[in-house]
Amino acid sequence: MKNPVTSIKETSARYKTLDAQDKKRFWVDGILNNAIYIILVIFLIYTYTKNPLIVSPSAIVNLLTLVAANLPMALGIGGCIVLTGTDLSAGRIVGLTAGLSAALLQGASAANKYFENLGEPGIGMVLLVLLLVLVIGGLVGMVNGFFVARFQLHPFIVTLATQMIVYGACLIFYNSNGNNGQPISGLSQAFRNFVTGSILPKFGGLAIPNYVLYAIVVFIIMWFVWNKTTFGKNMFAVGSNPEAANVSGVNVFFTTMMVHTLAGVTYGYTGLIESARIASNVANTGTNYESDAIAACVIGGVSFVGGTGTVGGVLLGVVLLRIIYVCLQFLSVDQNLQYVIKGAIILLACSIDMRKYLTRK
């Protein structure tokens, strides 16, 4: 990273040498390239003038928790997009792992117990289930990755197929053991404390749930993986040009498979968190989660063209989507218009993203 002060000095020195036309272009480009940030700030200021509570501690904690809930999945799916792919199975994997976590971690006195022989789970059991869902998520991701890498199938098709398979499994699961599709809830205290309890210091007198902390940990891990490991570098190499990567000795098959596996692990993790965060799990839990995650990645500059994107960008995308959500609530915007606004922002963000790519060409 360059020192920001020197980089500003350099930019201003360069700016002085430009002629009038180039100066104009400098500003236009600057505005367009940072449009997302500008939109974000305008949106926040506008909301603030209408409803100052948007900057209250409780609103900030609320935003934090909403971002923390979506971030891990977006980071997982981001890897698939870097490989010019996508992942449609994400939401259903969350549904399955959320159901499994809930069923395994119900309290001893839950109203409709899925596994009647299980007693009151302790923290050890919670960690064990966490491991289990990470493995399950990872396995489905690995299957996705295998078919994408081995048969050169587009991830859209592969994950569309696994989405259905996982959903089927999820429906079977919810209808088995005498559950008849009933929601699985009545979660144990240990599980709820693990996810929604708070060990972080309070912010403005408000408890910050643990999953915010976990999301930070996931973010740091993913930042490390993307930026500091050979695997991360390989991922970008395969994303920008698989043939070139192959020629330069990158194992394209392994990289593709691992990116999908890693994505699957984040879905498994999200499943466990969602299970306790929402506390009522049905077969539909997680439906369409991937759409928000994909949108967040694209808004954050992870291009469908492949090979570009940053972990910070994904975070920004998630934050932007969540700020839109919160602001629209604080502004009491008409429900129907909310779709329009959200859609327009995604479209705008994608266009700006493509524009950058086109000028680079």
Partner 1 sequence: MNKKKLVSLFLAAVMVCAMASCGSGGTETTAAETTAAETEAATEAGSGAETEAPETTGGEAAGEAFTPKVGVFYYSFADAFISSVRAELDAALTEAGIEYQNYDGNSSQATQNESITTALSSGTNLLLVNLVDTASVDAATTIIEQAEAAGAKVIFFNRAVEGDDQEGQVLNAYETVAFVGTDAPEAGHLQGQMIGEYLTENFDTVDLNGDGKISYAMFMGQVGNVEAIYRTQYSVEDAVTVLAEAGHGTADDPALVYFNPDNTDKYQADQQGNWSAQAAMEYMQTNLSQYSEANGNMIELIICNNDNMAEGAIQALQNAGYNNGEGTTTIPVFGVDATESAKGLIAAGSMTGTVEQSATGMADALLGMVQNVAAGETMDAAVEAVVGTNAELYSVSEAVANKLYVAYSAYTGE
Rounded CA gap, 77 and 88, in Å?
9
- Residue 97 CB, nearest distance to partner 1 (Å)? 15
Of 142, 258, 262, 282, the one binding partner 1 by CB under 8 A: 282
Applying CB under 8 A, among 53, 244, 344, 347 the residue interacting with partner 1 is 53
279 binds partner 1 (CB under 8 A): yes
Tell me the site size for partner 1, rule CB under 8 A.
47
CA angle 128, 131, 134 (to 5 degrees): 150
Q: Which one of residues 36, 39, 40, 66 is an interface residue with partner 1 (CB under 8 A)?
A: 66
Q: Are 180 and 265 in contact (CB under 8 A)?
A: no
Q: Is 117 in the site for partner 1 (CB under 8 A)?
A: no
Q: Which of 329, 348, 350, 352 binds partner 1 (CB under 8 A)?
A: 329
Distance CA(46)–CA(336), nearest Å, equals 20
Nearer to partner 1, 69 or 302 (CB): 69
325 part of the interface to partner 1, by CB under 8 A: yes
**φ and ψ at residue 184, rounded to 5 degrees:** -100, 115
Among positions 75, 110, 143, 316, the unique one binding partner 1 when judged by CB under 8 A? 110
Handedness of CA 267, 273, 277, 283 (dihedral sign): positive
Position 51 contacts partner 1 (CB under 8 A)? yes
Least distance (Å) between residue 176 CB and partner 1: 11
326 CA to centre of own chain: 17
Task: Select from 15, 27, 339, 357 the one that contacts partner 1 (CB under 8 A).
Answer: 339
From 137-145, 176-184, 293-301, 343-351, give the range in contact with partner 1 by CB under 8 A: 176-184
Task: Look up residue 212 and give its two tokens.
Answer: 């915010």
Task: Indicate which single residue of 193, 196, 246, 310 sits in contact with partner 1 (rule: CB under 8 A).
Answer: 196
| Options 48-56, 242-250, 306-314, 346-354: segment touching partner 1 (CB under 8 A) | 48-56
**CB burial class (10 A; 0-12, 13-18, 19+) of residue 257?**
buried
- Tell me if 193 contacts partner 1 by CB under 8 A: no
- Supply 249's token pair: 């000795």
Distance of CA 157 to the CA centre of its chain: 21
Under 8 Å between Cβ of 65 and 135: no
Shortest spacing between CB 44 and partner 1, in angstroms: 15
Record the tokens describing residue 119, joined without a space: 């007693």
Closest CA to 309 of 11, 85, 134, 89: 85
- Tell me how far the alpha carbon of residue 134 is from its chain's centroid: 16
Please tell me the distance from the alpha carbon of residue 205 to that of residue 203, in angstroms, as a whole number.
Answer: 5
Among 185, 240, 246, 310, binds partner 1 (CB under 8 A): 185
Identity of the amino acid at 236? F
From 80-88, 216-224, 270-278, 312-320, give the range in contact with partner 1 by CB under 8 A: 270-278
Pick from 44, 118, 135, 171 the residue near partner 1 by CB under 8 A: 171
Question: Which of 33, 84, 112, 310 lies at the binding interface for partner 1 (CB under 8 A)?
Answer: 112
Question: Does 41 help bind partner 1 (rule: CB under 8 A)?
Answer: no
Burial (CB count within 10 angstroms: exposed 0-12, middle 13-18, buried 19+), residue 201: exposed
Q: Least distance in Å: CB of 17 to partner 1?
A: 49
Report the chain's terminal Cα–Cα distance, integer Å.
Answer: 25
Asked if 182 is part of the footprint of partner 1 (rule: CB under 8 A), the reply reads yes
Report the alpha-carbon distance of residue 84 to residue 162 in Å, rounded.
Answer: 18
Q: Which is nearer to partner 1, 147 or 211 (CB)?
A: 211
Q: Which residues bind partner 1 (CB under 8 A)?
A: 51, 53, 56, 58-59, 61-62, 65-66, 110-112, 171, 174-175, 180-186, 196, 209, 274, 277-285, 287-288, 325-326, 329-332, 334-336, 338-339
